[in-house]
Amino acid sequence: MNIIKSIGAKAFTMALALVCGLTTTRLLITDAGAAQYALYTLLIALPNLIGFTDLGSGAVVVNRVARSDDPRRDPLLVGEVTTVGRIMIGFAAAAMVLNTVMLTTGLWQSFLGEAGDLTHAPVAAFLSITVFCLGIPLGIWTRLLIGLQRNHILILIQGAQSPLTLLAVWLVLQFDAPSLYPFLAVFALIAAFLVVLTGFLVTSRLVSPLIGTVARRVPFPRAYPRVRVMDMGWPMLAQLLTTPLAMQSQRFILAQFVTTIALAQYAMAGQFFFALQGLVSAVGLTLWPRYTRARELGTSVTGPFTMAAYFAGGVIVFTTGMLIAGPWIFAFISDGDVHVPVEVILAFGAMVATQAALYPLGMFQMDTAGVRFQVFPGLLMAAMTVALAFALTPVIGTVGPLLANTFAVLVCQIIPYGYRIIRLRRVTA
């Protein structure tokens, strides 16, 4: 039932996000220009590069909530959430130090590539990360809702981000002030912060008095010392590092080798395929507590290979639809200024299909031993993706990072994960 609710919620929010996202893109390109749109897509993706804000320790919270009979007052959960909260506050502080260094040394300008030469681009990058850091300590709400198997609530709350972003961009563009265009992403991230704040408040009520108890304990580490969370946190952190390295680094690698128009082509196609990947992620995450609970109770559920086939098949159907309707859609939203080649659509489809097939295999192995096993394949995948992307992009252009990730995920993760699952089933049979 949780999966069905999550699919329904994500389908609704994905449709809403597509409409709002396409409208936002059209506004940005027609009113601010393709160069400002390219900068916007880079800045809006910056938080994803440091998405490991709990250093992987949030996985402990998810598993504890999934196993707990009373998450509101579970003393073990209180200790774990307190420790994770301190980690997230420390991460936010460290990120702001790095952010300040990059601004004062000029590193932001070089990091953004050609888009970094636009007026005020480095300052906009600094402000974007600053807004993101303000919401980091509140991010514990997502871990709690996943563990509670309330993914549909999580999805619906996060779904408010796209209309708020559209509203923010539209309001800024109404001033018709080009000096504000580099800061469009900052206003979009403020909208994202409001969503995080809303999610935190809603979750606080659902698990009351847990969050209140934790808030009173966080400032006093001597009275309430930390508990063990990094035994699973470190392996999970290694996995969390692979996602920004392999996925979010793509547009920054492209920024070093391709024009802003090519980067805009990537971003435009990515609006659709990353939205689809969000649906895959939302549905895939529901499998984590489901498999954990089934393992705890010894009950049977739909196997990971069957789910992997369903996930990948859905992506193939979506890609076929984009091949048919994509040219018309892209021409409409860009007013004919940006043409997305067929090979970019196919490469995106292949990448998201492999990611979709991987999700059930990974969620099936989210116990401590399974998470530790996934570390090396994940790191190898990220390293191979980045290396191949740097090698392929100067030669074949925009599709380079996409094909690099497709190959790396298949070889480094899907095959090893599948082999381990088969081997474990033979041992336990």
Q: What is the pLDDT of residues 140-179, one digit of tens each?
A: 999 899 888 887 888 889 889 999 999 999 999 988 888 8
Position 299 pLDDT exceeds 70? no
**Other Cβ atoms closer than 10 A to 282:** 22
Clarify whether residues 95 and 243 are in a common domain. no
Clarify whether residues 224 and 254 are in a common domain. no
pLDDT for 301 equals 66
**320 domain residue, yes or no:** yes
**15 domain residue, yes or no:** no
- As a whole-number percent, the residues of the chain with pLDDT over 90 amount to 40
pLDDT for 66 equals 81
Looking at 204, 228, 252, which one is the last position of a domain?
228
Expressed as residue numbers, the domain containing 311 is 230-424
Cα–Cα dist 67/292, whole Å: 8
Q: DSSP per residue over 28-66, as a string?
A: IIIII-HHHHHHHHHHHHHHHHT--TTTTTHHHHHHHHH
pLDDT in tens, 199-225: 999 999 999 899 999 999 999 988 998
**Other Cβ atoms closer than 10 A to 145:** 24
What would the mean pLDDT of 276-281 be, rounded to a whole number? Answer: 83
Share the mean pLDDT of the chain: 87
Q: What is the largest CA-CA distance in the chain?
A: 68
Clarify whether residues 199 and 261 are in a common domain. no
Clarify whether residues 133 and 257 are in a common domain. no
Please tell me the pTM assigned to this model.
0.73
Is 214 in contact with 71 (CB distance < 8 Å)? no
Helix, strand or coil, per DSSP, at residue 307: helix
Cα–Cα dist 173/201, whole Å: 31
Between 321 and 286, name the one with better pLDDT: 321
**10 domain residue, yes or no:** no
Place of tokens 């809403």: 16
Is 402 in contact with 341 (CB distance < 8 Å)? no
pLDDT in tens, 117-138: 788 899 999 999 999 999 999 9
Clarify whether residues 179 and 258 are in a common domain. no
Clarify whether residues 236 and 223 are in a common domain. no
What would the mean pLDDT of 238-242 be, rounded to a whole number? Answer: 77
Clarify whether residues 201 and 62 are in a common domain. yes
Band of the pLDDT at 89, cuts 50, 70, 90?
very high
Range list of H helices, 75-160: 75-105, 107-111, 121-135, 140-147, 151-158
Looking at 200, 228, 256, which one is the last position of a domain?
228
How far from chain centre, in Å, is Cα 420?
26
Looking at 180, 213, 228, which one is the last position of a domain?
228
**201 domain residue, yes or no:** yes
**82 domain residue, yes or no:** yes
